[in-house]
Structure 1
């Protein structure tokens, strides 16, 4: 492997010096605004056991490099330390120049005590950004902790290359045979050779010293320059962190002042309630005194006749007063709990309404407006695809504003029912229109994605936009269908935690009753939407010539799907069978790779009108005279011979007498298929016996099954 070792982003040899590789210098502008010390992104990591490549999400966290399954998970799969505190050694960055056939833009981390980790970036620029970020983190850690860097070990072959000397060079002192004819001439020759060797050695030594001196000076200059760059970046980061800290402190102080003002308002409200309570008690005391005065006057008038009656009445009044006081003391904590629950539900209603309004605004601003401005689709298509989504934005702006005002001015008897009672006509009108148009909207969007390249590119770009939160267009379109059940649940909880004497009780009951009517309508259409999605899912699995055929028909539902062994006159073959409420579609699986989405090749369509299904059917060769022939005659593994009564065989006999024989894997599977087919045949309307069953718009030829 042809590689170059780096320490803190510093080249370890002349092959990667700043003069030969200027792009290796640290530059925060190349990191896409993510910051030099908190680099994040996807990299391919080569596993140590299987030696294959896995795409993982990596994040620089201090002096560690964390590895995640993807960018949405929070649990790290592995943590790669960039510094070993036991040995005071840093990780070595290895720049791999030579690309492999299956992987490019590679670099590695050699961690002391752990081993070597090999990575692959998507582009050369991304690889340089990662190397620069890791080098800056190591340099900052070294400077902060005042630790010496680990010396770089170079290969001796680079420091002292061996000269290519032949036997005829100036260093040869003897002839090939090693003999001398004249001793005196040999001595003179030897002396001359020794002088020449001394001169060469001295010259080499001086040249080597000069080169080492220049190299040392160059390394010192480069080290000073790198230290200055690192200091400048560290100062910039510190300054930025200080500014953020001052901003957070200012926001905290403002929040504290706001809380103090709210606390003052709450205390004033409590004092007002206490004064009202004292006033009420004073009036009650005066009333009791007036009552006693009247009783005393009556006592004087009636004298002794009613004396006992008065004493008895005073005892009754006293007992009633004590009983009322006891009831109040008993139920007061429960009322406090109810009011707290009511406030929590109101806050949840406000937060969910704000989140829902934000999603509607994203749909309007990110999708609808740009599509019309850029003329990607016309106005009529936009109205069909997005229905009245813009009207829902205006409606929920008003609802969200009112809910937020009520929650911000909260008190235990705060009303919410009147908001939904006023908005109930608009909710019924707008949401009924949206739900009725939802099937057509989803079909239009999918058709545009498959037929309009500009629309498909636009949707993909919107998914990459940070405002889209990685949600597809269909995810935004389903949100209004799911919102009304959420309203019903929250208002039901609010109604349960509202006292019977509260004014909001009646309003909440009216609003909840109206929402339930709308939800009943929405739920019926939601079931139709789910059935349509299952049929469209099967449509997308078809490949070959029947891929673009229209499988979805009004009223068609997918009841069951699975693998069955189909028995024909040429043998047995494994087939994927889809049972609908009006027909059976037989197909062949065209892909067995687990990493590839399954596709199916259409084989036949079997109508269920006038058909019958027979369980534990015993086939014979005469049954297959009219049955379709099989294209692949290879028998399925473990398939029994014809006539075996325990082979879990069921037969579907059509109105024209054709027999389609299937074998299930076990008794439970056979029973499930039999019950499903029998129920589908019985559930067909009576007029279906004379009317033609809607086809898939596919060829119903039984040849090639």
Structure 2
């Protein structure tokens, strides 16, 4: 399709090609490299393949971009399929390669690639004796591909969460700019409800729960200037969704309830529950009893989690003496899959050194962390978050740097 575009055959716009295929060309080149390594190894077979996986797995985070783009690719395909030139081009291209599948069936293949590598390594291990020369490398590769899959799943969830917040941001009409996409904010659930504030008449609306705020919205938009939402989108540089929300899908913001304000939740039984914050009370009527129970459960868990995190934050703020290692990570900090948590190791070392300082010379660093990461990991860095006499600080150290922090003896 890109070749056709470069030849002047404008099947679709250049940006549509990008939305459809993301970084698939980079992934294709990467997998060709893996294939070449396997072919070379077969020609000089020495009974070992695990090291090839160990060398290439750290680079597989390039799949994050493709997987995050996959939903957009499918939506773009559905919209573009109504264009005759695009539909004809796809049909002819598939005939040329003798394919019986449509384009979406090919687009999902890179998404399935890493889980299939995991299955492949598991099957190889079943057929490999423990005393085989490649057994240990295959075990390490299986563990590493699992970590990579977990990392990619986490990144995908973060991406989907951000898209959901952006979607809500585009639907909610408000008289002031509404910023939902802030760090650490997670979407929990939303549902259609009837809302009564301070015993006023009920209005039909939507209750939206995140891990730190609740949004109470109504569906009657006659009193709000619709241009406000357009201005808000420009101010916040909201990423446009493929299909703009229909007028009937828009929600008018009534109230925002912050978890930090320590509101209370009361189960009224049946289909109702009550939110109380300060002098205000909202009575929420759900569509059925099952929905009411789901809301009670979700909000109770969210309140408990927020309270726990707040307590931890307060505890950290009260660290006003001595020296404490809060968190420490070691590895290539630019690649999440190549990083390990070494907090407990350093905390133990602080205790051994008297509890008020941490000193690590380069040779000791290799002894402490050398077996935690593959030797193929480059640019290893030690990052330490610590509190010293009430201040929280972060320091980073290269492999050859000496670590000296804490209440050091003069």
In the superposition, the TM-score normalised over structure 1's length comes to 0.31
Q: Which has the higher strand share?
A: 2
Return the structure number with greater helix share: 1
| TM-score with structure 2 setting the length | 0.49
**Structure with bigger gyration radius:** 1
Report 1 or 2 for greater relative contact order, CA contacts < 8 Å, sequence distance ≥ 6: 2
